[in-house]
Amino acid sequence: MGHINKFFYNNLSQLLEKTSEWPCEYLFKFIVKSDKNKIEIIESIFDNIGAIIKKKQSRNNNFISISVNVIMDSPKNVIEKYKEVSNKVKDVILL
């Protein structure tokens, strides 16, 4: 993992630890090119854990925003999901 990614995830973990009581509801947001395969991969990562997934197409239909609302047990679990998505979906934007 690159230095910037490690720094990002460490900061995110600390922020989540300080600002939330766990387990809690967490909103993941991703932006990907409008590619059915990429969308399906993200959906499969959150399958069978009670996630509510909403998708919104960009104005020109080139991109899609995916919001995933789900109960997570800890900041560590949140970061694991972000890492799983970034490892499996090329060029995903994590928000």
CATH value at residue 24:
3.30.70.260
pLDDT of amino acid 88 = 96
Residue 1 has pLDDT above 60, yes or no: no
Which three-class secondary structure state does DSSP give residue 64? strand
Which three-class secondary structure state does DSSP give residue 51? coil
What integer best gives the mean pLDDT of the chain?
A: 93
Q: How confident is the model at residue 4 (pLDDT cuts 50, 70, 90)?
A: low
- The answer to whether the CB of 41 falls within 8 A of the CB of 89 is yes
- Mean pLDDT value of segment 6-28: 93
- The answer to whether the CB of 70 falls within 8 A of the CB of 51 is yes
- Long-range contacts of 2-10, Cβ-Cβ distance < 8 Å, separation of 24 or more: 9/79, 9/82, 9/83
- Mean pLDDT value of segment 59-81: 96
Q: Residues 29, 35, 40, 41: is their CA dihedral positive or negative?
A: negative
pLDDT of amino acid 7 = 87
Structurally, the chain folds into a number of domains equal to 1
Domain extent, residue 14, equals 3-94
